[in-house]
A and B are shown apart, each in its own frame.
Chain A
């Protein structure tokens, strides 16, 4: 079962910036346990561009699709047997990143 694991940061109360060693160690464990599918940190939301080509011509807009205090700072994709395993890992992930984590199953 695949889960999208989102790392949520908060602009008004950001997590600490020295988490890379803890995250790297956690990633190595995910790989060793066979849960790791993908991981990536994201650039600031200011670097985002939204494209809407549903109408007659494509419209580009600068910035994220929704302006909010909380935003997606990075993500994982995990392959694990069930939600309990995902939640146990996410509990550790939140500690490693010093940020909130959302676990959402793929269809």
Chain B
């Protein structure tokens, strides 16, 4: 990559959300902001190679985008005589101080993750408006036709405008729930990358995990005091750190107990552990940790063990007990049972898992966990049946390969 290309890539990563957010605030219209930002970046691709990279790429892009937006509004006003004189924007506002622009990006994130939008729409809109992914990229990421994804984003922008979804940081009383909504969107993006679904996709989609981490870092920079944002970032880093060891050369998923721990990314682990230690210190001072902080702590215990045999299962179980109090869902109970199996044996764990049968009958991990426990108890035939069901339900190609091998190893 030459210098100009690098500058373009960096500008896209660092400035896209800033430009869209600033324009949305100025023109009160996501559609205008998105289109003008895209045009400004296209102009940069065209002009920077010959004319050189401007000294302040962000300011250049914002100024260019503002000009494009005003051009569009003028064109529309000319088309529509009735509104010719209405709300004609002028380009004379002084540059915003950096603090206010950062706030705009946070406004943008909260608007894209608004509870009045469907979850999949929130994900798509966040990736487009905040992440700067193109519609074809998002469509590919979620195995949706490009036209359908384009329509989904267009409808969302129209709803935000028609229903007047406000462009602001939620009030203090709404904030925890709204932050949780944002984190859920980021976690969905990450998980789709980490355990990609669909028969034709790679088992791990690094582009999506990287994008989720990038957006979570941005959210953390904007809300540095939010403990759950820090928790989610730590959770993603500690999960991502294991990615190099997670898929075998033949594309098969490698379970935690079989992973080459030397291949884990030490830098990501160090950063994740640092965040978890910070949260532990806060918890010791009496701040009750939320769901993502506990999940991060569980992953910190796993990534602290140099060998699977060194894993501190009693600490993991204590953390799951804490999580169950916060989130008594059957999926948490299932994951807790895995720790129980290590401490109290597979028979005790199986009894817990069997109680979840009704709630999790359609969940592949339920059957996979059960299959493994039955295998350890020497109940091969039942184990095989459970593997069969898990393979039927698993959507990830690497996981299917792993489960098939484990089943075929049964005697």
Using a CB–CB distance below 8 Å, which chain A residues touch chain B? 1, 81-84, 87-88, 103-105, 107
Contacts and interface: CB of A to CB of B under 8 A. Distances in A.
B163 A83 contact: yes
A1 B164 CA distance: 8
14 contacts: A81-B166, A82-B166, A83-B114, A83-B116, A83-B164, A84-B166, A84-B170, A87-B115, A88-B174, A103-B163, A104-B163, A105-B162, A105-B164, A107-B162
Nearest to A85: B166
B162 to A, nearest CB: 5
Contacts of B115: 87
Contacts, number: 25
A82 B174 CA distance: 15
A105 B116 CA distance: 12
A9 B200 CA distance: 44
List 5 tightest A-B contacts by C-beta distance, closest first.
A82-B166, A105-B163, A82-B164, A83-B163, A1-B164
Contact of A83 (B165, B171, B174): B165
A105 B163 CA distance: 5
B25 to A, nearest CB: 15
Interface string B160-179: 00111110001100100000
A82 B116 CA distance: 12
A103 B165 CA distance: 12
State the main secondary structure of chain A at its contact with B. Answer: mixed
Q: At the interface, is chain B mostly helix, strand, loop or mixed? A: loop
A1 B163 CA distance: 9
B256 to A, nearest CB: 42
Interface string B164-201: 11100011001000000000000000000000000000
A87 B166 contact: no
A83 B116 CA distance: 9
Interface in B91-113: none
Contacts of A87: 115-116
Contacts of A1: 164
Nearest to B161: A105
B174 A84 contact: yes
A51 B208 CA distance: 54
Interface string B376-409: 0000000000000000000000000000000000
Contacts of B164: 1, 82-83, 105
A34 to B, nearest CB: 17
Given A83-B114, A84-B171, A87-B116, 13 more contacts: A82-B164, A82-B165, A82-B166, A83-B165, A84-B166, A84-B174, A87-B115, A88-B174, A103-B163, A104-B163, A105-B162, A105-B163, A107-B162
Contacts of B174: 84, 88
